[in-house]
Amino acid sequence: MSEIFNRRSAMGVAGVAGGAAWSFIGSNPALAKLLEDVEPRGTDGILERLPTLDLESYDEFSTDTRVFINTKLTRAAESRAIELMKANGYGPNDEVPLETAVEILVNDPVIAFRNHSWQRLQMHMWKELQREFHGNYDMYMSEMEAADNSGPGVLELNPGCEPEYTKHEIHMQPGGYTGDPFAGHIYHYGTNNFYNGRNEQDERHVSLANAIPLPADGKVKRILDAGCSCGQQAVALKQRFPDAEVWGVDIGAPMVRYAHMRAVDMGVDVNFRHALAEDTGFPDGFFDIVTSYILHHEVTEDATYGIIRESARVLRPGGVYYPVDFYTNPRRKAHDKRAYRRIRDWMTYRWNHERWLWDYQNADFEGEMKRAGLILNMDAPKENMEYPSEENNYTIKRNRVTNIVGTKPA
């Protein structure tokens, strides 16, 4: 059947035919399974285009609006915060208690407009994406099921391994990372919006993968991407190290299913395991590199310490641990306590459901790395380090990222 039925051509016809053909395919799981690779409107590079022009147009509008909120509207809100704090006796760079910043700033109309616009836009974005994938459930589920046992790469699922803290709806994403069968789909297209439309070819993840330092002996046979979400960095790591065995681990089964499906579609040999980053199930000393990207601010403080210990355990002597998050920049180890940053953090915690933001801000990250037996890069001479700009939590320079590096003693 595959020799006489060109699935991509058929999907192209379905895309041209519009909503009627799209609904017909979605309501026929056998046909959807036959087609397997659902790309009704083709791809832009490695990004599969959204299935309808209406949804793609909405996504572009949403992204452009987010850019406006994150730039001009945010600058207006920050200027207003400086004015209000000055009227209350605080300078623009003074550290302010959270309660004080909230009391003075939370009800200001300019600041409230910025924060509520940001929040409502994100809620609406999630809802539109969820509507698409659930509205065509049979088709998308059949595509994912068809990829589960396909290669290259393997997918390991462990139903029931999710502790309660992993079920929180971080970023207001409906169902969170574990509770919606299309969490990977929704997360991928949603985070393209987060990146202001600048990561549609995984540019950020490629840059981070290229920045990871090598073990001193230069040997890279196995790599672990902990908290891999929808697999963008894991794929980028495989592309940088084509001869290495690359594993992505995430507690969201829908996340790793989508990550595996995407890697299979791209023809990239990456393995994915449904497991906790603090309990990966790999042997001692198995990996040459362990990395993660924006994982630790989304887990409890205890989980952060567990992930650090687990990373040290599965690293081989001489291996490198490279966790990238908001405060893993050696020159930005503490969170910003100025008034406007405080109100932004409060909004993020309260309304964007970053449940463990305070845990992460208060965690002794470097201390735990040392207690796990890792040697940190901030102990190296300063001339061997690169420094960030003030506005970024890390800086990419010449494919290098300013970030904590832990090395397991040889």
Residue 233: closest CA among 259, 261, 213:
259
Res. 380 pLDDT band, cuts 50 70 90: very low
Percent pLDDT > 90 in the chain is 81
In this predicted structure, the answer to whether residue 320 has a pLDDT above a threshold of 80 is yes
pLDDT of amino acid 400: 57
- Contact between 140 and 381 (Cβ < 8 Å): no
Residues with Cβ within 8 Å of residue 192, at least 6 apart in sequence: 47, 59, 63, 199, 200
Instruction: Give residue 28's pLDDT.
Output: 52
Tokens coding 26:
């979605």
Alpha carbon distance 233, 123 (integer Å): 26
Average pLDDT over residues 218-225: 98
Residues in the chain, how many?
Answer: 410
Dist CA 138 CA 32 (whole Å): 7
Q: Which domain holds residue 315?
A: 183-332+358-407
Burial class from Cβ neighbours inside 10 Å (0-12, 13-18, 19+) for residue 139 reads buried
| Structure confidence at residue 401 (pLDDT) | 62
Q: Indicate whether 281 belongs to any domain.
A: yes
Model confidence pLDDT, tens digit, residues 90-110 = 999 999 999 999 999 999 999
Q: What does the block give as tokens for 327?
A: 């405060």
d(C-alpha 76, C-alpha 72), whole Å: 6
User: In this predicted model, what pLDDT tens digit does every residue of 246-303 receive, in sequence order?
Assistant: 999 999 999 999 999 999 999 999 999 999 999 999 999 999 999 999 999 999 999 9
Residue 73 included in any domain: no
Q: What is the 3-state secondary structure (H, E, C) of the chain?
A: CCCCCCHHHHHHHHHHHCHHHHHHHHCCHHHHHHHCCCCCCCEECCEECCCCHHHHHHHHHHHHHHHHHHHHHHHHHHHHHHHHHHHCCCCCCCECCHHHHHHHHCCCHHHHHHHHHHHHHHHHHHHHHHHHHHHCHHHHHHHHHHHHCCCCCCEECCCCCCCHHHHCCHHHCCCCCCCCCCHHHHHHHHHHHHCCCCCCCCHHHHHHHHHCCCCCCCCCCEEEEECCCCCHHHHHHHHHCCCCEEEEEECCHHHHHHHHHHHHHHCCCCEEEECECCECCCCCCCEEEEEEECCHHHCCHHHHHHHHHHHHHHEEEEEEEEEECCCCCCCCCCCCCEHHHHHHHHHHHHHCCCCCHHHHHHCCHHHHHHHCCCEEHHHCCHHHCCCCCCCCCCCEECCEECCCCEECCC
pLDDT above 70 coverage of the chain, percent: 84
The predicted model gives 129-140 an average pLDDT of 97
Residue with tokens 């990871």: 212
Provide the domain count of the chain. 1
Whole-number pLDDT of residue 19: 43
Residue-wise pLDDT tens digits, 19-77: 444 444 445 544 444 457 899 999 999 999 999 999 999 999 999 999 999 999 999 99
> Could you tell me if residue 115 is inside a domain?
no
- State residue 378's pLDDT score: 57
Interatomic CA distance for residues 39 and 52, integer angstroms: 11
Assigned domain for 220 exists: yes
Question: Would residue 9 count as lying in a domain?
Answer: no
Residue 195 lies in a domain: yes
Whether pLDDT at 152 is above 90: yes
CATH no. for residue 187? 3.40.50.150
- The alpha carbon of residue 259 and the mean position of all alpha carbons in its chain are separated, in whole angstroms, by 12
Instruction: Quote the CA–CA distance of 112 and 346 in Å, as a whole number.
Output: 12
**Residue 340 domain flag:** no
Model pTM score: 0.87
**pLDDT band for position 371 (cuts 50, 70, 90):** very high
The answer to whether residue 294 sits within a structural domain is: yes
CA angle 357/402/78 to nearest 5° reads 50
